[in-house]
Structure 1
Amino acid sequence: MTTLAKQRSIIADPSAAPDGHLKIDWVRAHMPVLNRIREQFEQEQPFKGLKVCISLHLEAKTAYLAKVVQAGGAEVTITGSNPLSTQDDVCAALVEDGITVFAKYNPSPEEYKQLLIHALETKPDLIIDDGGDLVTILHGERQDLLPQVRGGAEETTTGILRLRALEKEGQLKFPMVAVNDAFCKYLFDNRYGTGQSVWDGINRTTNLVVAGKTVVVVGYGWCGKGVAMRAKGLGANVIVTEIDAIKAVEAYMDGFAVMPMVEAAKQGDFFVTVTGNRDVIRGEHYDVMKNGAILSNAGHFDVEVNKPELEARSESKRTVRRNIEEYALKDGRKIYVLAEGRLVNLAAGDGHPAEIMDMTFALQAMSLKHVNEQYETIGNAVVNVPYVLDEQVARYKLESLGTSIDKLTDAQVAYLDSWAEH
């Protein structure tokens, strides 16, 4: 334990640390890729003398990433990226391990933002962001903290959209690595991680059967693909809504019904939004929904399900079960919203499986090292994870599974490199 981390941190319950340590120990045992990178970092000390600020969903897997970065020589500060996904026992454990923490479960919006600002006021050299909250504050009200920042890495689709908007306007002030766009992120984390954890959260929260029900998946990106696939596996009839014609054809050929949201709204029992956009379920959809429809969101921000328009149609609202709000509509129907419309897999669950986040957080750690080494060369731009790092994570994963793959022969390499050979 470091006295500095203990003095500076703002957490809810320091006495909860033992439970937090148990959670972190459990995920560490199931994150072999990150363990391997930790060994490298301990030897190389790539972040020696640097300050790193992390904003991610603050639960056990994130905590272990913070400890890996710390093992690389960094002074680490961490804060949450969502008010309902922070686990107070994990925060307490991190403080005992010498990491400064500004986070607690379910703060007010004002307090949540202030915790983010406190984290940035440690004047980090490098950042890891999730949804772009740190970047937005740095480029907005706290530009005084910009000169210290060398660069960072972004976790999510939503965050990358915000970063690219900044870059397009010529306003981005440091390089950011788009971790979400790496193969080992979206192919596994977005598809298999979101697919499983969303249904973990919904099933745990509702305790209702999915088989035979109609599930409407709003958006067929990699997250939507995973959610739809798992819903089908649970026995649901799946409808996909899309704005992208190519993705809509893909959903159709994957065996799902495709239709506009206003038509799907009439049929759905469960709704899951995964678009990264706002108001994808709104007033006109509530007007035609079944009595008892259950709405959930797996996008980063709680704007995909338009709650004000639902409240305007309601006579009353009450919490009927933890993380379930019942809206009693004026016409007698009832509609239910899970986890206040926030990320259902984290606000009402434990997030992605440890083995999935093992690859994602390995990419985060390696991308942070990369941007620290190359920030002057990269410039103020959003860049992809270098393919060599992406492939290295996959190789480490295969090795941890005891699995090997083929290698090209010299003749095969020559054949692929030549236009003349046939």
Structure 2
Amino acid sequence: MGVPGSVNQISPMKKPFSSNVIAPPKFPRSAGSLGPKSWIEENMYRTDNNSNTLLPLQDRSRMYDSLNMHSLESSLIDIMRAEQDPLKGRVGCPHPGTDSLLMLNGRSSLFPIDDGLLDDGHGNQGVLGSPHCYPHQNGERIERFSRKVFVGGLPPDIDEDEITSSFRRFGHLFVDWPHKAESKSYFPPKGYAFLLFQEESSVQALIEACLEEDGKLYLCVSSPTIKDKPVQIRPWNLSDSDFVMDGSQPLDPRKTIFVGGVPRPLRAVELAMIMDRLYGGVCYAGIDTDPELKYPKGAGRVAFSNQQSYIAAISARFVQLQHGDIDKRVEVKPYVLDDQLCDECQGARCGGKFAPFFCANVTCLQYYCEFCWANIHSRAGREFHKPLVKEGADRPRQIHFRWN
């Protein structure tokens, strides 16, 4: 991680140091002089009006009454049945019926959002419009950030206790990093860690104390050998988990893709714009988050308004996500439902059980029971089709800790 090029005069990063001298005592943190952040508003992204022409091979008309109301699939169907509102290009705002849609991202309910407090979709992903203005409803402060915060560019010799001490003033927290339990290391091996705060208000307090440079947040942290090193603070704004590009379009789970390996800084609005630029017809994008901390899990969903865009996306199989500093190849698959009847026999040949297989080949794009799969795919040209099955949801790694 690079250090910001130009720094505010009030920033402690401007302090002159001739060298990093080893000294027995730890240097005190000097965060009191951190300056206020600037807040930049930009225009919303464009939206495309795409045709909604269905290809004959995927013209579905039956209802999905069997869907579990606590699943992504039912959430999408709720939206299809809901009254259509003219919502376009909204970040974190409810598409018709999205009270349950947010179960897609591991959240149990939709937090109320005031239009005046919505991010515009282009600003800093983790900052409030005003550092001292918290949204309230019924006298209670509304959570706007995940309690899990990324901190990068840490001093190489800073250990867990020193990280905890540096951030304890914002509230009770636990420090974690990938494979921490297995490695038994006292130092974050790659120079970054995650701060898991007990209260969301601690994250807001941390953001207030940061200095913003070039759209990124920084805070100075000291170690035994390095004084006031600026480290990047990257909070996750909950409203960045969902983006409704075209609220007038019903969301069809059979035109929804799963995107694996999504970089965690990528927001739903950015995922939507990338996919729309590549294939067109995007009406919704969501970033999967874990249910407890509401932090991105590294996967997402994109719903298209037309069959051509959906088929183009799943036919590509891999997509290069390029946005800002992000440049990563990710996998694209059809989103597989786990409670669909066989499209061939409608459950007649399998006792009404849900179909376990989905064929993603564009000549099929159907759900099959075991009998129908064997029957259909014994035909010439289809014997090499491979079935997709519903994958188990990622679960956050269990960690045992006490609040410091």
Q: TM-score, normalised by structure 1?
A: 0.22
TM-score, structure 2 normalization: 0.23
Richer in strand (by share): 2
| Bigger relative contact order (CA 8 A; separation at least 6) | 2
| Higher normalized helix content (fraction of residues) | 1
